[in-house]
Amino acid sequence: MTVEVHDGEVDIVIAALQPNLTPFFEAWRPFFSRFHVIVVKDPELAAELQIPSGFDVKVYTKSDIQGLLGATSIDFSGHSCRYFGYLVSRKKYVISIDDNCLPAKDPAGVTVDAVTQHMINLKTPATPFFFNTLYDPYRKGADFVRGYPFSLREGVECMLSCGLWLHNADYDPMTHVVKRNQRNTNYVDAVMTVPLGAMLPVSGINVAFNREVLGAVMFPGLRIRKQGNHRWDTLEDIWNGLCAKVVCDSLGYGMKTGLPYVMRSDAEAGKALESLKDWEGVKLMDDVLPFFQSVKLSRNGVTVDGCVKELAGIVREKLAPKNPVFAKAADAMEEWTKLWKSHGAQSA
């Protein structure tokens, strides 16, 4: 499957959690150089960023965030700084990859163009209403299998593409500590639509989405106590993905997972151990998932913005009594719809 990708329809958004971005940019040069790149510097990071020349880059810092938004209840520190990039982008699509990830190689040894693969995922239809056992039916060499209703073979628009990671997989701190020597080496050559009603843990490490349509639900909502700038300390992307899935399911859009892979550098396992004592995500998810599995949005929320407002209200009613972090998440979701209306909902 080939799709045309125009320079002017994609922004690459990078959260800078470390100052030296030179190896990152050099490795991604063949794939990023023709696109506008938005770098959002972690507001907690003091050192000056190093970015090689030859890119169309715009860097946003703490003062840019404060200058544009003023007082806001949303915390853009750590991994959450990338969401500011989603707000100031003016492109139809956004691709965001963590700054500790480099291009992966496929089993044939070819370097993976993650940008093109994400765009293929977003520009070809999704099939959320029936599972195709041969995975993406639009892929070259594949098709819909016997029994797949012809009325569903047009598919629906795909709004989010969740890519994966070789080497250092995206585990919670407990798993990092227990399996400190385990590395993901299994390159699964498949893209699939996550079925209607099924929830998945979207990782923000390597993700792309249709910003024009989905932007109002791409927020850093759930912030757990003592969140650092390690992925294993965060649930903001998981929460965001669950909200996005509920909204996509409600509006008839699709989400895909699988290719492209990126090569993720080693976590510092010792630090994962330090993270354990403050990590509340384990018990939070046991409340969060049943909530998202059962939540049903009304037919009134016919826009993403309307869906987010409704969902924030249900979070406040059903989850906030269990833990104050959910009340804060509902606040952030409502705040985001305002920020998006003022700053995000514009295209080039």
Residues forming contacts to a copy of itself in the complex (CB under 8 A) are 107, 129-135, 139, 141-152, 162, 164, 169-172, 175, 179, 182-190, 194-203, 231-232, 235, 238, 257, 281-282, 285-286, 288-289, 293
Alpha helices in the chain (DSSP H): 22-32, 62-69, 82-88, 114-123, 173-178, 211-214, 236-251, 269-275, 281-294, 304-318, 324-339
The residue (of 276 and 289) whose beta carbon lies closer to a copy of itself is 289
Distance separating alpha carbons of residues 139 and 161, to the nearest angstrom: 15
The residue (of 186 and 300) whose beta carbon lies closer to a copy of itself is 186
The residue (of 55 and 292) whose beta carbon lies closer to a copy of itself is 292
The residue (of 55 and 232) whose beta carbon lies closer to a copy of itself is 232
The residue (of 294 and 300) whose beta carbon lies closer to a copy of itself is 294
Distance in Å, CB of 60 to a copy of itself, minimum: 26
Distance in Å, CB of 213 to a copy of itself, minimum: 22
Q: Are strands 93-97 and 206-210 parallel, antiparallel or unpaired?
A: antiparallel
Q: Which residues pair with 206 in a beta bridge?
A: 97
Distance in Å, CB of 143 to a copy of itself, minimum: 5
Residue 280's Cα: distance from chain center in Å?
21
Distance in Å, CB of 203 to a copy of itself, minimum: 7
Distance in Å, CB of 125 to a copy of itself, minimum: 17
Residue 18's Cα: distance from chain center in Å?
19
Distance separating alpha carbons of residues 158 and 251, to the nearest angstrom: 12
Distance in Å, CB of 88 to a copy of itself, minimum: 27
Residue 270 neighbours by CB distance under 10 Å: 10
Instruction: Read off φ and ψ for residue 17, nearest 5 degrees.
Output: -100, -5
Distance separating alpha carbons of residues 304 and 317, to the nearest angstrom: 20
CB 36 within 8 A of CB 55: no
The residue (of 133 and 298) whose beta carbon lies closer to a copy of itself is 133
